[in-house]
Structure 1
């Protein structure tokens, strides 16, 4: 991080801040999204979101965007994606959200439990212990990079473990976007069943939306609600990990800390900060739709706007692909991530079948 001095009366703005600094990256993501939208109209089976992420990855592989594109790409991949989820709330009502949440709860909790157990056992078998195993397990079981970011300060994970975990999760997110719709059609899953499958078996929100959008609008709406409810699982998991980390630190350093007259320091999770702002925005917009504040005539245009925003965000995510990060991560974290991805996918489909939700 560059240090700033106060030797001048007027400080120079930090690089990468301000709207103008974001324009190059936003423009690049927007251009890819426009091309992807055109391609998606000619190849609707693939669709604009998947096309955008493929084009972004291809461009990043050929020539990774320079530093001047980074602020805009980051804004597109995070804020614009979150905004698209808020807009999606205009297609639903609070009654639908509650019904979907209750209906998906057995599958959601079942996949989370199985993923946690599998992460522990498979991680030990592969020799991946400690924080990296926890991060990959939480990222796969809950919501990808968001869950990893939420629990990192709670368990005190080092940056290299965070980078490995995010790289691993991202790889299988892309795989899910490309493979799950094909699998869904092969299995004859309904829009409802595929939405539940995508919402419980895909990690990051971006990939959930991209995967379900390719399958159909009904699948997208269902998957988004399932995924948002699943995101709330960050709160109890972060609290449990906080308690576990506190016991681990106390057991390892308690004697020394008592001798020094202090207590081990750790970061306690703020429950309110663990709830993403876009989840609140989604519920607020859905509430507005429930009481008739959003006219029916605007639903189709708002749906189109949401899909285009998703396409822009996925173009940026594709541009952010770090192939070198995959190489640095090595084979074992990737293998653990792949095995957990398969375990969660099979568990999701199996629980749906068992509860008669297909």
Structure 2
């Protein structure tokens, strides 16, 4: 018995020692080292290496998002303030650049095909969100933010509608956190589903535009499926994003908010201008492939930044009920739109 106790006792310090070693290992990545007169940390170096890789031809949008998520869950994002500020601008410029690879006539045709889906899905999602949110006992403003993010274009819609609602920072964070996590799942899940169902490029692009929240993830998933899917998805999604304006105005009236400004997504006009230049100005056509390639690189970097911002703390801070609302809305809109698209004549 005594020997047994002694043997057991001798093993007890192993766990604390292992934890200490683990903690010491990660502490090294946060320790500043003098490099060429500047204090730099190893985690900054890792971030820089991942970022540079995302600029190479070997990196895909899903891979960039995965690298960002890996960094967020381990070392953390050492430049979170800067990447948060850059993400939206980089996405907007990337979307404009994609316009130089599109034909205006084809875009109009794609836009017409998606308009009925857009109207039905936006109104249906907002209405369904209201009832599910009421059932879950969530605050009215959080419900409306998540519903708008699901119905229109994710974080952009939430950022536009939030000030109209005069939403609190916590409410904005909850809505954005819910949408960004689901975006990450969609980016990985949609292309394999499309291949399993043998969806055409046109079908998949339309499904992405309707069923995935953020423009970044829509473009990323569609780009992984094919160039035609990318064109359809981008055009329909940006046409859908214009609904930010009437929905924001409707929000102000519904919630009886006065004296608020509606944010207009002006970058969509840049996308349209780029598309018109590529279609009708012959001099601009040789620049098209270069600008489109730069736009795709910019999109890949954007997804890396988004992934790097989704830490465990952000995910946990949302709570379970907003995720339930977001998941239920997402499942309904994705399955319903998939059924309609696959069975449309």
TM normalised by structure 1 equals 0.79
The residue number in structure 1 matching 2:260 is: 268
Deviation per CA, 1:91-128: give whole Å up to 9, x if none.
11332222221111111112112211210121111112
CA separation in 1, counterparts of 2:194 and 2:144?
29
Give the match's secondary structure for 2:255.
helix
The residue number in structure 2 matching 1:169 is: 179
CA separation in 1, counterparts of 2:268 and 2:48?
24
CA separation in 2, counterparts of 1:236 and 1:107?
17
The residue number in structure 2 matching 1:150 is: 160
Give the match's secondary structure for 2:298.
helix
User: Which of 333, 337, 347 is the aligned partner of 2:336?
Assistant: 347
The residue number in structure 1 matching 2:38 is: none
CA separation in 2, counterparts of 1:217 and 1:275?
28
CA separation in 2, counterparts of 1:72 and 1:230?
29
Q: Which residues of 2 match residues 266-305 of structure 1 at below 5 A? A: 266-270=258-262, 274-305=263-294
List alignment gaps of at least 5 residues for structure 1: 1-24, 42-46, 250-265
User: Which of 53, 57, 62 is the aligned partner of 2:65?
Assistant: 53
CA separation in 1, counterparts of 2:254 and 2:305?
36
- Please tell me whether the aligned partners of residues 242 and 269 of structure 1 are also in contact (alpha carbons under 8 angstroms): no
Deviation per CA, 1:52-71: give whole Å up to 9, x if none.
110011011101123xx234
Q: Which residues of 2 match residues 219-230 of structure 1 at below 5 A? A: 219-230=229-240
Change (3 A) 1:279 1:26: farther
- 1:220 Cα deviation from its structure 2 partner: 0.9
- Please tell me whether the aligned partners of residues 238 and 268 of structure 2 are also in contact (alpha carbons under 8 angstroms): yes
Matched, 1:127 2:142: no
The residue number in structure 2 matching 1:32 is: 50
Q: Which residues of 2 match residues 214-253 of structure 1 at below 5 A? A: 214-246=224-256
Deviation per CA, 1:196-232: give whole Å up to 9, x if none.
0011111111111111111111111110111100001
Give the match's secondary structure for 1:269.
coil
Matched, 1:322 2:311: yes
Give the match's secondary structure for 2:153.
helix
Change (3 A) 1:26 1:105: farther
- Please tell me whether the aligned partners of residues 47 and 77 of structure 2 are also in contact (alpha carbons under 8 angstroms): no
CA separation in 1, counterparts of 2:63 and 2:192?
15
Change (3 A) 1:49 1:120: same
- 1:294 Cα deviation from its structure 2 partner: 4.7
Give the match's secondary structure for 1:63.
coil
CA separation in 2, counterparts of 1:64 and 1:140?
27
- Please tell me whether the aligned partners of residues 153 and 267 of structure 1 are also in contact (alpha carbons under 8 angstroms): no
- 1:29 Cα deviation from its structure 2 partner: 6.6
CA separation in 2, counterparts of 1:75 and 1:160?
19
The residue number in structure 1 matching 2:26 is: none
- Please tell me whether the aligned partners of residues 26 and 73 of structure 1 are also in contact (alpha carbons under 8 angstroms): no
CA separation in 1, counterparts of 2:321 and 2:65?
26
- 1:159 Cα deviation from its structure 2 partner: 1.3
- 1:35 Cα deviation from its structure 2 partner: 2.2
Change (3 A) 1:106 1:178: same
Indicate the structure (1 or 2) with the bigger Cα radius of gyration: 2
The residue number in structure 1 matching 2:109 is: 99
CA separation in 2, counterparts of 1:26 and 1:209?
28
Q: CA RMSD in A?
A: 2.3
- 1:181 Cα deviation from its structure 2 partner: 0.5
CA separation in 2, counterparts of 1:228 and 1:30?
31
The residue number in structure 2 matching 1:9 is: none
CA separation in 2, counterparts of 1:26 and 1:212?
31
The residue number in structure 1 matching 2:74 is: 62
Aligned pair count reads 304
Give the match's secondary structure for 1:220.
helix
The residue number in structure 2 matching 1:307 is: 296
- 1:301 Cα deviation from its structure 2 partner: 2.8
CA separation in 1, counterparts of 2:277 and 2:63?
32
